[in-house]
Structure 1
Amino acid sequence: MPGTIAIVGRPNVGKSALFNRLAGRRIAIVHDQAGVTRDRVATQAEWRGQPFTLVDTGGIGLVPGEKSEDIIATATVDQVNVAIEAADAIIFVVNIQDGIAPLDREVAQHLRQSGKPTLLAVNKADHARVEADAVEFAELGFGQMFPVSALHDRGTSSLITAALEHLPRDEPSATAETLSPTLNLAIVGRPNVGKSSIINALTESDRVIVSDIPGTTRDAVDVPFTIETDGREQHCLLIDTAGMRKKRRVKDSLEYFSVTRTTDAIKRSDITVLVMEAELGIVEQDKKIADLITKNHRACIVVINKWDLASAAVKEARQQEMDRRNRKDRSRDDREKRLIFLGDFGQWVQEQLFFLDYAPVIFTSAKDGFQLDRLLEAIRFVSDQWQQEVPTPLLNRTLQDAIALRQPPNKAGKRFKLYYATQTSNAP
C-alpha cells in the first residue's frame, strides 16, 4: 500500500489549491470563501516514480475539544482528525500573508500531540520578496519549513520530496496485471436525497459528512469499496457527489463548481447510481439528471431511497386493498391500478423514466439498511452486463434477422448489404 500524506490547516489558507498542485490536476474545489472543503478528498498521485495517497481536508475552524452547534463544522473537524490518524506524514499549511493566527497555534499543538511527521508549508509566498517573512512561523516549532506558492508552483517540489521521505517504502503486493479493474460508481441525485448516507451505510463508516442541510457535500469524494458476492471480489470506487438543483437556482460560483464536479463524476463513472426520494416521488429535476446519464451513455441503477418514510403509508394502503378484496367491494374503479407492492412501484418508476427503463430499480433505506444487499447485487449484475461480450455468430444472426424482418431503404437503386459485424470492445 502506498503511503498517505494529509494536508491540514485552518480555513482559507490554500490547502485545496496546494492539493490540486501536488496532485497535478484540478480535483478539489478552490474558492475565496472559507470552509469550502468539508469531506476528506483523496487521490492517488505519483512523484518521480513513487506512488502515494494525497488527502485534502476541511479547514479546522474549532479549537480541539471545542463544542459547536454547527454540526457541519464539528463533522469537518472529525474528518480532519481521521485523516491525521491515517496519515504517514502531514503537511501543515499556513498563510504567510496573514502571519501567525491564534488558530494556527492551536492546530500546531494538536499536530504535535499526534506524533506524526509534520512539514510546515508557508503558503502564498508568491514572490521571493515575501519569503523572508516565513521566518516568523519558526515560532510554531516545526523543524521542516517550506515557503511555497500553490498558485505559482513555487517551492512545491522540495516540499513533496521532503514529505515522501517519511512514507514507508514497502514493495507493492500486486502488480497492475494481477489487480482486478476498479469499477467507478457515481452516486448522483438532487440535494438531500441520501446519497452520502448510502455511501456511509455501504462502507459501514462515517466516511462522508451527512446532515439534513441540503448542499452538505460539495466536492466529488472518492471512497474505495470492495463488493464480495459468491466468492468474487469486485473493487469499486464510490463517488459521492453534490446534489444537482435546477440551473436557474444555481446562483453562486461555489454551487456551480460543485455541479460541474458532479457532471464530471458521471462522465468518469462506469455505472451511475441515480438516487431519488421515496416521499416526493419522481420530479422534473430527477428526469433531467436521468437524461444527463443517458446522454453520457452510462450504465445506470435507479435507487428510491428513504423508503422507511413511505413504508408505513404503503403498508396501510396494502391492508386497505386486501380488506376491500376480501369484501369483494367493487365500488372503486379498478381501471386505476393501485400501487401496493414494490413490484408495482418499480414498474411505475420505469414508466415515468421510460428512456431509462433498462436500469434496475431498487428501493432502499440507508437509515435502517433496507435492501442494501439488493443494491450490491444490482451493481454486480449491471457490471456483468456492461462488460458482456456478444459472440460474433450470435451478433451476425441477430442483425440478419433484423434485416429480414424490415428491409433497409435502397439508395440509388442499390440494396443495402451487410457483410459482417463484430464487437470490437466492451464497457463503452
Structure 2
Amino acid sequence: MTDETTPGVEDDAGVETALRAGLEEYDLSPEDVALLESGGPGEAEEGARAPLPVLAVVGRPNVGKSTLVNRILGRREAVVEDVPGVTRDRVTYPASWAGRDFTLVDTGGWEQKVEGMAAQVAEQAEVAVELADAVMFVVDATVGATATDEQVVRLLRRSGRPVVLVANKVDGPRQEADATELWSLGLGEPYPVSALHGRGTGDVLDAAVKLLPAVSAVGGASPVGGPRRVALLGRPNVGKSSMLNKLAGSERVVVHPTAGTTRDPVDELIELGGRTWRFVDTAGIRRRVHLTRGADFYASLRTQAALEKAEVAVVLLDASEPMSEQDVRIVSTVVESGRALVLAYNKWDLTDEERRHYLEREIERELVQTTWAPRVNVSAMTGRHLERLVPALDTALESWDTRVPTGRLNSFLGQVVAAHPHPVRGGKQPRILFGTQASTRPPRFVVFATGFLEAGYRRFLERRLREEFGFTGSPIELSVRVREKRRR
C-alpha cells in the first residue's frame, strides 16, 4: 500500500511531537497544560467569544459614582472632582472581583442643566441600563432619596434588571442611620459604603457579582449560522448613513450635513454579493468622550456596544480631507476590540490626483500599524465600487477565523528563530520552546519561551506570521509565557 501522507505535514507533526516532549522538562501551570491538551479553540470559541457580563454604575451627578468606579478598579481611572457634571475620556473598563471578570460602565460625568435634571438623568440612566446585565444604583446617603432618585428607581423597576442599591458617603457609624432610610426606595437592602475610604465596598461588590450572569445577555458576537454582522464606524459626517442607504436601496436612516445626525445604531439586513449581511449604522465617534454631553455621550456608548456585537468593522475615512486624529483612534479602537477590519475611503469621486498622492503619504504615516487591513475606495453618494466591499469583508472574516495547525506553526517558528534568533541581553538569550494557537476570532497565539521576548522581537514574529499565513484584515495577538526548567 502506498503511503499518501504529505511529507511536509509528516515533518510538521514530527516537529510538534518532539517540541511538546521537550516541554515536559519545564514547570507548566494547570492553565498551560489545559491549553496544550485542548489543541486549540473549541466549538464555543469558534462560534463566538463569550462576552463578559456588564455592570453599570448609575445615579445622580456628584453622588460618588466615579469614586466608586476607581475603588472597584483599584486605581484612579475615572476623573473625580467635588462638583457635579465632571467629564472623562473613558466610560467602560475591564474589572474583576472574587475571580469574576466583568465590564464596568461608569455612566457619570456628563454636563447637566439644573432645569429638568430629573428627566435628563432618567433618560441617560435608561440607556445605561439597556446596555447592562446588572446595575449599581448609587445614592448619596447624607442627602437621602431625592425626587430624581425616585424617578430613576421607577425606570429601574420597568427595566427588570437586577439592582444593588449603594448608599454612598457613609464614612462611619454615625451615617449608618442615613443609609437605612433608603429602604424607602423599595429596591431592597441599601449597602452602606464609603467609596472614598473603601468602607463596605467589598460587601456591595459581592452582592453585585452574584447578580451577574456567566455570559452577558446584552453583548457579544453574532451566533453561528446567522448573517455576518458588520459595524459601520467613522467620525461624524463621514458618510456612514449615506452608505447604508445606498446599500439598502432606500432612505433607511436620516442623512443631513449636520454632523452627528445618527444617535442610535440602526440594524439593516442588506443583500450584497448574493448574500445577506447585517449592517449597523452607528453614531459618529466624537473627538473625545469627555467633549460629549447628553445624548452624544450615550451615542458613543451605543457605538461601542455595536462594535462589541460585530464580527467585522468597516471604518469609513473621508478621502477628500486630511486624515485626522479621530480617524486613527477609531481604527485603533477596532484593532483593540479584536474585530476584523476593512478600511473604506469614501468620497473617492471628490479626490483629484494631487489629493490622492497626499492621501497615500498620510496612510503610510498614520496607519503604519494596520497595513494588513483591506482597503476599498468607494463613493457612498453614487454607489461607486460598493460591490468591492464583499471580497474585502470575506477576506477579513476568513482571516479572523483562520487556525494554523500546531505542527505547521512550530516548524515555521523554528525556521524563523534559526534565521533570526532573539538578541542576547544581559548574557542570556531567550529560546522559544513551543507555540500554539489558543483561539480564533481573532487569532491568538501563545509562545512558551525560556525568557522574556522583547516587544520589538514580538512585533517581528507577528510580521513574519502575517507574511507566512496571511491574516489579511484581522488583528492577531501574540503572548509569551516564560517557563523555567523543573528542578530535580
How does the TM-score come out when normalised to structure 1?
Answer: 0.48
Higher relative CO (CA 8 A, sep ≥ 6), structure 1 or 2? 2
